[in-house]
Structures are given as structure tokens and as C-alpha cells.
A and B are shown apart, each in its own frame.
Chain A
Amino acid sequence: MHNNPKEPLIHITKRGALPWHRAWGIRLLAILVALVVCGVITTITTGLDPLAVYATMFSGAFGTVRRSWILGQDLAILLCISLALTPAFRMHFWNLGGEGQILAGSLATASCMILFGETLPGPVLILLGIVASLAAGAFWALIPAVCKARWNTNETLFTLMMNYVATQLVAYFVIVWEVPKGSGKIGIINQSTEAGWLPVLAGNRYLLNILVVAVLTIAMYVYLTYSKHGYEISVVGESEATARYVGIKVGKTIIRTLLLSGAICGLTGFLLVAGTNHTLTTTLAGGQGFTAVMVAWLAKFNPLGMILSSFLLVFLRRGAGEISTIYGLNQSYGDILTGIILFFIIGSEFFISYKLHIRKSGKKVAAQESTAAESATAETAAEETAAEAVAAEDTADKKEVGADV
């Protein structure tokens, strides 16, 4: 093979499992390279000092005690949604309906607060809100799950379309409950009585959400790694035929897992309405149902890893907001930097799974070409949307699975 003059310049082989430190080394290198590329692009397009820009981002995320707490709260919400999607994803059920399931949970919570705010005592109202939001989120996920289990419908499209239904439903109820007439806004619910609001722990309004999600993260890790259900989810995800052969009821597993997935999304809706926002709008979830897809993929569906990936995304988001305030750059600029960094991180997974062999005689040429290719990809990275990145990752992973089989 090596003596063949027609040997390709580069050929790719799958590598075995890398030791963790090598894998993390590659990832770290990818982030460093991404930061350098971001720096170059920042300098070229805005003339700002990239180090100052990074310092501003850091200050936006951690600059004050309050900012650190807000970061923690945002991280908790994003992580909670990612945790919700994970069991479904492990089963290879592509639940893109996080957004709708969150809205269903929010709507249920807000209804309880508005309808029973004056009649029920506080703790009962909170309990009712929790139950209602869990049920609403679970129901919103159950519909596509049943259709998948019974008629094998396409869950990606189905869950996606359920999002639009939920948004319109929320829009309808916002107009029913709007104050004043015609404004299209509900405003803060029970602002004077705080009925149905989650209590403020130890004088810190952000703490309770963070604690709830911390407990949930550990519970989800244990459930997926050590429970029988968790094992069944993995088997169904790898191969439905195998699952049936070993006596796992596939339909039942799909429905049970989606009930769990939807219920946790519903809980996120509850935390958003009763815990932080105390209002209901169609943009309450703010696209985080989709961002969470990326969080889950980046961490390879490991709940503990998701702490890291959701931290990264929230850090970038908070940092980007600060850049736009301090330097007067548009919010989109932060999105471009985020896009570049994510592109490199997702790209680095390729180098962890595969090995490049470069023809010996063409070594120097190859190195140069790969540099050129790398900088070219960096530019396109800016335009790369999160969804595309996920899709790319998706196919990469499928190839990997194929190779394993």
C-alpha cells in the first residue's frame, strides 16, 4: 500500500478509544485554536483588541456576584431542558419538541396561578402548579410518542410541529388574560400577593432553581447509568430488533421515556413561570428547546458532561450581551464568535474518532493545505447555524455507529 504511487494524499481511519487525557487534550486545543481564530476575525472586522474583548466577555459572565448568580440560573434552565431531552435522544427518538413541551408546562402553571391565585393557599397552589406542569409537558410529548410507537410516524417532524401548536395556544391564552385590554401582555401574575410563586431561599432568588436542577442532574445520571430502564433505553436506541429479541417492549419503552422527557420539560416551564419570570409569553422558552439539543449532543448524552456544555453556551451568551453593550457591537457579533467556537469543538470530535494519514512525501504540502482548509472552514463557521452543526454531528455519529456494527 505505502509503495503504491497512487496512494491518496490523506486517508482517514477509525481509531480505537483514546485515553481520556488525549481526548480532552484535543478538545482543549480546539478551543484554543477557536479563540485564536475569533481573535483574528475580531481584529480584522472591528479593530478591537481581542484580549480586551475576551476580558469583557468574562466580565459579562462573572463580573459581579449578581452576574455569576444569573449565569448559574440560566445554566440551570438550559441544563434542565437538556436533561429532559437526553433519555429520548439516547433512545434515538429525536425529540425536537422541547420548546412546545416547556410552553405547555408554562401555560399549565400560569393557569393555576391566575385561576386559583386568590382561592388556594400558597403551598397547595405551588403543588398544583408542579403537578399540572408535569402533566401538561408529559401530555405534549405523549402524543408524538404514541404515534411513533403505534404507527411509526416521524418523531422529528411531529414534535417540531407540536411546538407551533403550543405557541399558538399560549398566544390565545395571553389574549384571554391580557391586561390592559388589547395590549397582548399578561404582565407579572399575582405581583402583589406573590401567590403561587416559588419561595426565595436564603434571600437569593436564583438559588432554588439551581438546587432543583442539581438534584435532577444526579438523578438523571443514576437513572440512565444504573437503572434497568436506562439500560432498556440504550438497547432500544442501538437496535429495536435486538431489544425485541431480548424481550424489551419497545412501544412501552418509547412511551414511558417520552412521558419522562416531556414531564421534565414541563417542570422547566414551571420553574420559568413560578420561579423566575412570573409571567407567560410565547417567547418564554426563547429557543432554548433547540439550544438544549446541542448541549446534549456536545456532551454525548452524558448528564454530567452537560453541565460543562451548557456552561459553555450560557457563558458565551452572557459574554456576547456584554460585548454588545460595551463595544456597541450588534448582538449578532457574539453569535458569530459562538458559532466559530462551537464549530471547532464539534470539529474536534472528528479528530478524536478518526485518524488522518498523510502521504509521507507530501508531508509539508499537506500541512500547508490543512492550514488553508482550517482557516477557510473558520470563515464558514460564522455562518454555520447551530442546527446545521448538530446535523453534521448527527451524521458523524451515525457513521460511527455503523462502523461499530
Chain B
Amino acid sequence: MKKFISILLTLALAMGILAGCGSSSSSGAASSETKEEETAEAGETEEAAEEGLNIKVGFITLHDENSTYDLNFINAAKAACEQLGVEYLLRTNIPEGQECYDAAADLVDAGCTIIFADSFGHEDFMIQAAKEFPEVQFCHSTGTKAHTEGLPNYHNAFASIYEGRYLAGVAAGMKLNEMIENGEFAPEEAKIGYVGAFTYAEVISGYTSFFLGARSVCPTATMEVTFTGSWYDETAEKEAATTLINDGCKLISQHADSMGAPTACESAGIPNVSYNGSTVAACPNTFIVSSRIDWTPYYVYAITAAANGEPIDVDWTGTIGTGSVVLTEVNEQAAAAGTVEKLEEVKAALEAGTVQVFDTNAFTVNGDPQTSYLADVDTDAAYEGDTEVIEDGAFRESKFRSAPYFDLRIDGITLLDEKY
């Protein structure tokens, strides 16, 4: 037994020596790092003195940077805080449960005066925290309840992403036109496939605006939509895209966060319009363009307002004009000729208001043009419509609340299943 102990001791000693070397080298690294930190902090205080932004910001995300959805938020958070020179804490992998409240409360303890969360399911827990900490501002992206909660320190934000989708749809329509001109298929065969997550208003608004964009340049276009029942399920999205391709779809787009649909398109040689960011690296031959929300302008706006003690909008909607709705670079290799110029033209028209995405002349439901629609803007368990949203010849999306509420099933789009 003594021998055994002595061996263990030798072992421990050996490890100790190793660790000793390790820690001495690491202390060097650490000290250089503290220096860096100091300089960074000095920079911060200078800037803070300049701009008067001496606050700490907290961010809560559902996953970490491995999810394209959360990465889009994390990048914006870093960009905004860097631009304003404010200190921030980022809590990743926070589930949509009590953990969200706990994380928010912990960020309050850490001295944050404004806290952001990025996932729809975080909303109720953010509201719970907002009620308990009235002196702290809570901002929730994609939520729907701020305008009915009536809390002075709880805010929602979204962007008019349907305009981005519309632009992406224009690029898709031009590609269809090009393929028709090349004689690849007849005009009436111009069918688009769309992989959605749930039959949620955000998804419906997304695929409808995308379709209307495509049909504005390719009048014979039709669309088939299928749902996966998950925001991130690579296998299901890949299978859904493959099913659509086998069903005769000539172009695919998607509203789900994995690389499933884009890679299925790349291997089948079918053009793809992406979402949340460019997929050109993995799909150089089929990626056309992608729309996404850039959250940086909102973060900059809300943090600045909180630092200056100014009120933050209850329901903030970013637009093309605020720089919140953006398109990636067009991939010239896959896109039709003249796409970039056409997109610039339509974008200008959208900004000027001369083109309305949900113009009631552009779509019908069961053959009838729509003149009136009550949308479920004030969320309730029975999904009852409560607000008239068609005004001046267009469905006014994101006007009565930032989160989308367009949920009409328009003609020309076939839903293959509605189980989710």
C-alpha cells in the first residue's frame, strides 16, 4: 500500500511540476491580457466620456454561435457594443424557461441596465423579470406582447423583413425567367418550393412576400410550401427540400435555420434563395442571394436611449431605411443577369413607398381580392382577430405591432401540409 501511495505521490508531483510550468507561462499571458483589458477599458472610458454611455449591457441568446439564427444576433450585439464603446455580458445557451428569468436577474445583479433576449419563447420570462426590476430596460426581439403588457420598461422589436423577402423574391423571379428563356421549362411550370418551420405568422408573411416578389417579375410563378415543425432540423429540412425538388420545383427558398435546404439544392443543382446569411461558401453554384435582419441599428438605438435616460419605443420596427433589413451580396455565378440593378431599382421603390409588398391588387384569397381583414395583433389563446390591417389598398404588415401578423393563405401558393 505504501508503494501505491508513493506512486500516486510521484504522479501528483510530476503533475504539479507540469502545472507549475503551465501556470508560469500562463501568468505571462494573463498579465499581457490584463494590459490589453486596461487599454481597452481606457479606450472605453474615453469614448464613454465623449458620448456619455457609461452603462453595462446584457444579452441572452437561445443557443451559441453554432446556430445561424443566434450568430446573427451575437454579431450584431458585438458590433453595436463596439461602436458605442460599452461593456457587455453575453449569456448563451439559455433555454426558453425559468433559466431565462434567472439569467436576466443575474445580469441585473451584475449591473446591467439594459438586457436583450433573442428568442420568441423568452418573452414571458423577460416580462416576469421586467415586472420585478422596473429600473432596468428589457428588450425582446420577435416578441408580440409589449404593446398589450403596458410595462414602461419592456419593449419588443422586429424588422420589416417582408420587404427583404420581397427583394429576394424578385431575384428568384428573374432566375425563373432566365431558365424559361433558356428553354429549361415552360412558363407555367415555374414552380417555387419553400421549406418553412411552423405555420406561424412570421413564416407565412415571409413566404407570401417572397412569392409576391417572384410573381412581380415572373407572372406565371406558383409555389408549394411544406413545414418541418422545427426551427432547426437539418435532416428534416434537407428531406423537405428534396421532396419539393422531386415534386418539380425549379427553385427553393426556406425559413429555417440549418444548412439542410441549401445543401440539398447544391447537390441537386437547383437554385436557392437563402435566409439569415450567405450560404455561398457551401453552395457556390446554386446560392443566389439571402435576406436577413441586421439587429445592430436596433441595439445601437436602444442602448443609446437607455444610457441617456430616454424612452425606448414599445414596439420598434426596423426597415430598409434604418439599415435593419439587408441583402447579402448577389452571387453572380447563380443569379440571372441584371439582378443587382433590378434589386436596386425595387429597393428604391419600396423605400419611396411606390411599391407596396402586400398591395391588395397583387393577390387574391379564394379568387376574391381582399378589402378588409382583422388580424390577431393582440395575442390571445383563441387567436381572435382584433385589428383592421388593410388600409389604403394594402395589407399593413408590421404597422400595428413590429412582429409579423400576415397569415392569409393567398391563391397561387399550395400548402402541402399544415400539421405544424
Interface of A toward B, CB cutoff 8 Å: 26, 29, 32-33, 36-37, 39-40, 42-44, 47-52, 64, 66-67, 70, 171, 175, 177, 179-185, 187-188, 191, 276-279, 281, 283-284, 286, 321, 324-325, 328, 330-331, 351, 355-356, 358, 363, 366-367, 370-371, 374
6 closest A-B pairs by CB: A182-B200, A188-B124, A43-B22, A49-B30, A182-B199, A47-B29
Which listed segment binds A: B243-251, B358-366, B374-382?
A: B374-382
Point out the residue from B14, B19, B93 that lies within 8 Å of A371, measured CB to CB.
B14
In contact, A356 and B106 (Cβ under 8 angstroms): no
Residue on B with the closest CB to A70? Answer: B102
B89 close to chain A: CB less than 8 A? yes
In contact, B376 and A284 (Cβ under 8 angstroms): no
In contact, B379 and A179 (Cβ under 8 angstroms): yes
Scan B281-292; emit 1 where CB is below 8 A from any A CB, else 0: 000000000000
Which listed segment binds A: B1-9, B261-269, B298-306?
A: B1-9
Known: A33-B15, A188-B124. A355 touches B1 (CB 8 A): yes
In contact, A184 and B198 (Cβ under 8 angstroms): yes
Would you give the shortest CB distance from A338 to chain B, in whole angstroms?
14
Known: A331-B93, A355-B4. A40 touches B200 (CB 8 A): no
Across the interface, which residues of A come within 8 angstroms of B23, CB to CB?
Answer: 39, 43, 49-51
Across the interface, which residues of B come within 8 angstroms of A66, CB to CB?
Answer: 102, 105-106, 109
B92 close to chain A: CB less than 8 A? yes
Across the interface, which residues of B come within 8 angstroms of A183, CB to CB?
Answer: 120, 198, 200
In contact, A180 and B102 (Cβ under 8 angstroms): no
Max count, chain A CB within 10 A of own CB: residue among B14, B26, B105, B200: B26
Would you give the shortest CB distance from A91 to chain B, in whole angstroms?
33
Residue on A with the closest CB to B124? Answer: A188
Would you give the shortest CB distance from A289 to chain B, in whole angstroms?
15
25 intermolecular pairs with C-beta atoms under 8 Å apart? A33-B15, A39-B23, A40-B15, A40-B22, A48-B26, A49-B26, A49-B29, A52-B30, A64-B109, A66-B106, A175-B420, A180-B201, A181-B199, A181-B383, A183-B198, A187-B123, A187-B124, A188-B128, A276-B97, A277-B98, A281-B96, A325-B91, A356-B7, A363-B3, A371-B10
Across the interface, which residues of A come within 8 angstroms of B26, CB to CB?
Answer: 42-43, 47-50
B18 close to chain A: CB less than 8 A? yes
Would you give the shortest CB distance from B68 to chain A, in whole angstroms?
16
Would you give the shortest CB distance from B329 to chain A, in whole angstroms?
28
Residue on A with the closest CB to B405? Answer: A180
Would you give the shortest CB distance from B402 to chain A, in whole angstroms?
14
B297 close to chain A: CB less than 8 A? no
Known: A47-B26, A48-B26. A40 touches B97 (CB 8 A): no
In the bound complex, how far is the Cα of B61 from the Cα of A169, in angstroms? 27
Would you give the shortest CB distance from A12 to chain B, in whole angstroms?
11
In contact, A36 and B199 (Cβ under 8 angstroms): no
Residue on A with the closest CB to B96? Answer: A281
Chain B interface helix/strand/loop/mixed: helix
Would you give the shortest CB distance from A152 to chain B, in whole angstroms?
35
Point out the residue from B27, B64, B420 that lies within 8 Å of A182, measured CB to CB.
B420
In contact, A371 and B11 (Cβ under 8 angstroms): yes
In contact, A49 and B27 (Cβ under 8 angstroms): yes
Residue on B with the closest CB to A278? Answer: B98
Known: A39-B23, A279-B124. A180 touches B379 (CB 8 A): yes
Known: A182-B200, A331-B92. A36 touches B16 (CB 8 A): yes
Across the interface, which residues of B come within 8 angstroms of A328, CB to CB?
Answer: 90
Max count, chain A CB within 10 A of own CB: residue among B15, B27, B379, B380: B15
In the bound complex, how far is the Cα of B321 from the Cα of A319, in angstroms? 43
Would you give the shortest CB distance from B138 to chain A, in whole angstroms?
15
Max count, chain B CB within 10 A of own CB: residue among A64, A67, A180: A180
Across the interface, which residues of B come within 8 angstroms of A43, CB to CB?
Answer: 22-23, 25-26
In the bound complex, how far is the Cα of B12 from the Cα of A158, in angstroms? 44
Would you give the shortest CB distance from A68 to chain B, in whole angstroms?
12
Across the interface, which residues of B come within 8 angstroms of A356, CB to CB?
Answer: 4, 7
Scan B161-204; emit 1 where CB is below 8 A from any A CB, else 0: 00000000000000000000000000000000000011111011
In the bound complex, how far is the Cα of B12 from the Cα of A37, in angstroms? 10
Point out the residue from B1, B90, B128, B407 that lies within 8 Å of A325, measured CB to CB.
B90
In the bound complex, how far is the Cα of B66 from the Cα of A324, in angstroms? 14
Across the interface, which residues of B come within 8 angstroms of A191, CB to CB?
Answer: 124, 127-128
Known: A64-B109, A66-B109, A185-B96. A36 touches B420 (CB 8 A): no
In the bound complex, how far is the Cα of B120 from the Cα of A284, in angstroms? 16
Q: Which of B71-118 contact A (CB under 8 A)?
A: 89-93, 95-98, 102, 105-106, 109
In contact, A286 and B420 (Cβ under 8 angstroms): no
In contact, A276 and B4 (Cβ under 8 angstroms): no
B144 close to chain A: CB less than 8 A? yes
Q: A32-B12, A181-B200 are in contact. List 12 more A-B contacts (CB 8 A).
A: A40-B19, A43-B23, A44-B22, A48-B29, A177-B381, A181-B407, A182-B204, A191-B128, A330-B65, A358-B3, A366-B7, A371-B10
In contact, A281 and B420 (Cβ under 8 angstroms): no
Across the interface, which residues of B come within 8 angstroms of A325, CB to CB?
Answer: 89-92
Across the interface, which residues of A come within 8 angstroms of B198, CB to CB?
Answer: 182-184
In contact, B10 and A367 (Cβ under 8 angstroms): yes
Would you give the shortest CB distance from A232 to chain B, in whole angstroms?
38
In contact, B420 and A184 (Cβ under 8 angstroms): yes
Q: Which of B206-229 contact A (CB under 8 A)?
A: 229
Residue on B with the closest CB to A51? Answer: B23
B125 close to chain A: CB less than 8 A? yes
In the bound complex, how far is the Cα of B383 from the Cα of A175, in angstroms? 13
